Structures are given as structure tokens and as C-alpha cells.
Amino acid sequence: MSKPSFVYVTYIKTTPEKLWSALTDPATMKKYWFGAFAETDWKKGSPWTLKFEDGRVADSGEILESELHKRIVIRWINEWKPEIKAEGYSRCTITMEPYQGVQKLTIQHQLEGEGTQFIEAVSGGWPRILSNLKSLLETWSVAYETKA
């Protein structure tokens, strides 16, 4: 039986360098991720923490893979909702690749265990976050300005 998962694909008119920077730079992340940002050095084996704008920890984990301009894999657990944290770790795979003059960005989030709340949460969150990312990189403004 397959594990619960969520996949989202979008196409962004940008360069691999600008997309990578937007995905990994905390100041840029804050612009499209509703004030949240990641703290890590993006190296394999490094700790990863996603923080709210006020400094509270939203999620944490570890960088499992990191290939410049191509791929990031994060072992990820929710830290702020006990019922979601109880579902355990997930694996978030972020893949970037050139496609017909744009960048194809694929996000796959898969639970290591069973459950539905985490996948429901990311399936509502990722589309808004990635819509903002696409808008920011293509138009220098974001689609959603409300807090998550």
C-alpha cells in the first residue's frame, strides 16, 4: 500500500539560479511564504527548521539531499499542531528542471507513516505558497498577502 502523499507541479518563467535562491534564501522566502522562513545551510545531513515570522518553530527536520539548482529532499515534521505531529515524519522532495524555456518545479510530500491530517494541511498550503513564489519571480509581487 502506498503512503499518503501530495504532489504539486508548476512552471515558472525564471532561471535555475533565481528559483534556487528563492527556495533557499530566508529573506526571499518570507515574501512568498507568509512571513515564514527556513534556517539551514542546505547541506546533506544538516538540521532544517521552518519558523514563523515571530520566531516560533512551525516545522523541523533534516536535509537528506541537496543538489544545486536541481533537487532538495527534506525529512520534515510538523512542530506546532500536536495532532499533525503525531502522524510523524514526511519526506518533501523539491525538484527543479528546465522545461521549454521555463523552470518546472515539482513538490512531492509523502508521509513515512499513516495519516491524513498532514497531507490535508500541505495540500492546502503548498498551492498558495507556490502561487506566491511564481508571482514573485514573474511579476515581483505576490498573489496572497494574508498570513497563513
Please give the model's pTM, rounded to 2 decimal places: 0.93
The string of pLDDT tens digits covering residues 3-51 is 889 999 999 999 999 999 999 999 999 999 999 999 999 999 999 999 9
The answer to the question of residue 13 being in a domain is: yes
The answer to the question of residue 146 being in a domain is: no
CATH value at residue 33: 3.30.530.20
Our count of domains for the chain comes to: 1
The answer to the question of residue 98 being in a domain is: yes
What pLDDT was estimated at residue 114? 87
The string of pLDDT tens digits covering residues 101-137 is 999 999 999 999 888 999 999 999 999 999 999 999 9
The answer to the question of residue 101 being in a domain is: yes
As a whole number of angstroms, the distance between CA 102 and CA 85 comes to 36
Residue-number span of the structural domain to which 130 is assigned: 5-139
The answer to the question of residue 119 being in a domain is: yes
What pLDDT was estimated at residue 142? 83
What pLDDT was estimated at residue 146? 57
The answer to the question of residue 147 being in a domain is: no
The answer to the question of residue 148 being in a domain is: no
The string of pLDDT tens digits covering residues 47-80 is 999 999 999 999 999 999 999 999 999 999 999 9
The answer to the question of residue 144 being in a domain is: no
